[in-house]
Structure 1
Amino acid sequence: MFQYLLAVCLISSALGNEAQSGRIVGGRQAGRGQFPFQGSLRNLKNSHFCGAAIIGDRWLLTAAHCTIGNLPYQLRVVVGSVDRTAGGVSYNLAQIIEHPDFNELTLDNDLALLKTVYPIEMSFFVQPVVLSGNVIPAGIIATASGWGQTFVGSGLATMLQFMEVRTLNNYECKLRHGLQNREKVHTTSLCTFSRSGQGTCMGDSGSPLVANSELVGIVSWGVPCAAGKPDVYTSVPAHRAWIKYTTGI
């Protein structure tokens, strides 16, 4: 956990005082089986620190800043439960593959693939999500889910939370951010905003953003937490070719 907190501090410093990676505030509690692709990334102490999305029978997608510096044996994923503290099935990891062009300072290409040792057993409560291959325009309603903090300084959510947000184009996204963070919105980023008081928070990094039942983004960074600034995701359509080439799915 110390290693993870240190990594968060380093990334936060790199992004400037107002930006913080990791970070649902103002959401609602998810029902069992509502997000069967949602995974919880845990450390050796079984502590959740990031989310993940099931994309194949041995593959999950998360944020690279969640995994950087970790070896597969140090992490595992739990799937199949909306309760962070109970239930679900745990899978050890055989491989972690960060995007080759991931930049720790700017969080460009902030994606990592997780390969499980054994195939994930699918059920009504455990299912992969389809990778979107379409460019996501502004004004689309999407849904984010995660076990992150429900307000700054709170503990992690016990039950999976979700919220509906609206996508923004990158130009407007940059304008809504301060000068320090505008350069952290990349051509391969996807931004969302709903209202002040609603957004992602610490512990939501790596969690999925879906639209029309397809995975369109992975939580990367934002201004903590729900402070009236857009949240920034790594665009899945922009990286779909790399994901499919690397995994073979």
Structure 2
Amino acid sequence: MFRYIIPAALAMISVNSHAVVGGQTVSDQDWPYTVSLRQIEDAENNLLSDHRCGGAYIGDDLILTAAHCVELAPADNSVACIGHSGDAAENNCFKLFESVVHPDYDEQLYLADLAIYKLRNTYNELELPAATIITEQQDAQIQPGDILQILGLGSTSYEDYIPAYQLQGAAISIADEATCNDIAQVSAPSGFDASNYLCGGEQFKGPALGDSGTPAFVLKDGQYQYAALVSHGYNYMGIFTRLGDHLTWIEQTKAALTDPAPRLEVGPSQTWFLSDTHPKIEHTQVITNLSDEEKIIESIELAFENDIDLVAHDCSVLAPAESCSINLEANLPENNYERNIVLISTASQGLSFLELESYAESIAPGVENWEPPFQEWTVGDINRWAAIEGGIQNKEVLAEDRYLRGSLIGPATLSFSAEVSGASNYTQLSVTMDDNIVANFSGHCSAESMQIDIPDGEHVMEFHFKDTLIVEDESSITLSDFTLQEGTGDTDQLQCAYRTGTLLTLSEGDDTNGGSNGMFGIFSLLALTLIRRKFT
């Protein structure tokens, strides 16, 4: 713990959890992978606890944090809120599924103070930026005196627990081993070893209560690299677990959590956009045997008969690391949207599957008082967006996707209003520019005016709303007041609230390999297709 006096009431807050003092408010958009770990205090009333610990999203539905944070935010009753603070702190809050603590973790000495959470993700692909973990070569270049960029959502005071409302950041100098040992020697349980830790801070600037697990970065090769995370501290000196000493464990744990069994790699799901001028697309999907055993492919077929066709394949017997190809063809869907599934049956593994979607693009309808900068927009499923005054809207979404996409020419600023309502783990609105995420919303979020800077040249903007699994709760999305103008404007504070969702149970079954969802996902897709066909 930090060596300073705190009131008895504040001592009930974990003294092993720390935050930034002497920092400044920083933009969430500059650090979109920062995480606030919170417990679910009352699921029925959508009530989350205050910030318990920090972390960083490292991709593949994984959160890297401090090992001692697992006790403060147990995986079976906590969420990871990614990339936002302030009024939007409950945006992108995902339930945790499991945690893996470093096997060498020592809770007394804070050795190997690392853990990785896996999210209970319901999306095929979580569209969020991930922190770039430092390489072994970059870690070896870190020297005393280098600047360490620290972040925090915990206390902004050493004397009292005053949690930060918005993300705080500060730049501190990395101390050498002798200085750190000299300052921390009174209360440190063991000597400071620079090969395992980074050390830095001062009396009026550094980590404090509430910031354990929060990432720290160094500037290497022109980019901020995720180099360490807050572990503990003594006498105002923050001590950070150095990631470079644990890169092998991080990679092995990531592999175990994301690919626990040797499998058949079917490749990414496919989404195609078609129009009257581009009514057909031909696609080749590569299938690879990632296991150490031979895979005998018994059959490959499509789940449904629609405008997506299986043309041919050359898959039969695959040796380890060997690949084969599936040729697919998608035609302009008559009902604006088609979904299909490639079912791949193997003798030893069972069923693997690949999801396919095709959308028909159409010209946006004229709406009074609406000045959309998009020339084309995409509708999904059997229901079109509804025109409202000043914008478009889709209510009562049932486990489906919605797209709005078009080309914009900069430099300019895109302004729009948005309101998204749905279960936090089951609905998501992603805004991308040239396939790079610029905003992401999940749960119940609204803003009267959002601003996105469009750089010079032509760029493709896409709004993608996903409601992946079937829930009893209705979801909706409203986008309005689109304008494209020169210069920049003021962005309203995004407001978000965590919302739970109640699943409609369709069937039970074991998970399968080779796809992003298990059998529940397949049954959901099959059931949804039957529902859609009933109304077409």
TM bin, normalised by shorter chain, reads 0.7 to 0.9
Which structure carries more relative contact order (alpha carbon 8 Å, separation 6+)? 1
Distance 1:55 1:149, change over 3 A: same
- Most deviating of 236-245 and 79-88: 79-88
2:216 is aligned to 209
Residue 113 of structure 1 deviates from its aligned partner by 0.3
3-state SS of paired residue (1:33): helix
**CA distance in 2 between partners of 1:139 and 1:145 (Å):** 18
Q: How many Å separate the matches in 2 of 1:196 and 1:70? A: 29
- Aligned residue in 2 for 1:146: 152
Cα offset, 1:94, TM superposition: 1.3
Give the alignment partner of residue 66 of structure 1, picking from 54, 65, 69.
Answer: 69
Consecutive unaligned residues in structure 1, runs of 5 or more = 10-19
SS in 2 for 1:67: helix
Return closer, same or farther for 1:107/1:27 CA change in 2, 3 Å cut-off. Answer: same
Partner residue, 2:134: 132
Bigger proportion of residues as helix: 1
TM-superposed deviation, 1:240? 1.0
Paired AA for residue 22 in structure 2: G
2:106 and 2:87 mapped to 1: Cα distance? 30
The reply to whether residue 192 of structure 1 matches residue 194 of structure 2 is no
Superposed CA deviations along residues 171-208 of structure 1, whole A, max 9, x for unmatched, are 32111213331615344111123x32111111111100
User: SS where residue 143 of structure 2 aligns?
Assistant: coil
Residues in 2 aligned to 1:182 and 1:86: alpha-carbon distance in whole angstroms? 35
- Cα distance in 1 for partners of 2:75, 2:110 equals 21
1:121 is aligned to 2:123: no
The 1-side partners of 2:63 and 2:178 are apart by 30
Q: Which structure: larger Rg?
A: 2
Hey, what's the Cα distance between the residues in 1 that align with 2:17 and 2:165? Answer: 20
Counting only pairs closer than 5 Å after superposition, residues 1-249 of structure 1 correspond to structure 2 as 8=14, 21-45=17-41, 46-47=48-49, 48-68=51-71, 71-83=74-86, 86-118=89-121, 121-122=126-127, 126-133=128-135, 134-135=139-140, 136-151=142-157, 152-181=159-188, 183=190, 185-186=192-193, 187-193=195-201, 195-212=202-219, 213-223=224-234, 229-248=236-255
Work out the percentage of aligned pairs sharing the same amino acid.
Answer: 26
Looking at structure 1, the residues matched to 87 and 250 of structure 2 have their Cα atoms a distance apart, in angstroms, of 27
Q: Which string of whole-angstrom CA distances, capped at 9 and with x for unpartnered residues, describes residues 77-130 of structure 1?
A: 0013132764421111111011111111111110110111116733xxx41111
SS at structure 2 position matched to 1:91: strand
CA 214–84 in structure 1, closer or farther in 2 if over 3 Å, else same: farther
Q: CA deviation at 1:23?
A: 4.1
Separation (CA, whole Å) in 1 of partners of 2:38 and 2:112: 22
The 1:24/1:108 distance shift into structure 2, 3 A limit, reads: same
C-alpha distance 211-112 of structure 1, shift in aligned 2 (>3 A): same
Alignment partner, residue 13 of structure 1: none
Q: Given the superposition, is the C-alpha separation of residues 54 and 84 from structure 1 closer, same or farther in structure 2, using an over 3 Å criterion?
A: farther
Residues 106 and 184 of structure 1 are in contact (CA less than 8 Å); yes or no, is this contact kept in structure 2?
no
In the alignment, the residues of structure 1 paired with residue 173 and residue 105 of structure 2 have an alpha-carbon distance, to the nearest angstrom, of: 26
Contact persistence 1:174–1:182 (CA under 8 A): no
In structure 2, what is the Cα distance between the partners aligned to 1:155 and 1:94? 30
CA deviation after TM superposition for structure 1 residue 217, in Å? 0.5
Query: Cα 1:184–1:114, aligned 2, differ >3 Å: closer, same or farther?
Result: farther
Distance apart, 1:141 and its partner CA: 0.8
Partners in 1 of 2:72 and 2:25 — Cα distance? 32
Counterpart of 2:126 in structure 1: which amino acid? E
Structure 2's unaligned 5+ residue stretches are 1-10, 42-47, 259-536
Name the SS for the 2:182 alignment partner.
helix
Structure 1 residues 81, 7: closer, same or farther in 2, change over 3 A?
A: closer
Distance change in 2, residues 1:232/1:121 (3 Å): same
Q: Is the 8 A contact 2:109 2:189 kept in 1?
A: no
Question: Contact between 2:37 and 2:73, CA under 8 Å: does it hold in 1?
Answer: no
Q: Secondary structure at the match of 2:239?
A: strand
Report the counterpart of residue 15 of structure 1 in structure 2. none
Q: 1:150, 1:157 within 8 Å by CA — same for their partners in 2?
A: yes
User: Secondary structure of the residue that 2:68 maps to in structure 1?
Assistant: helix
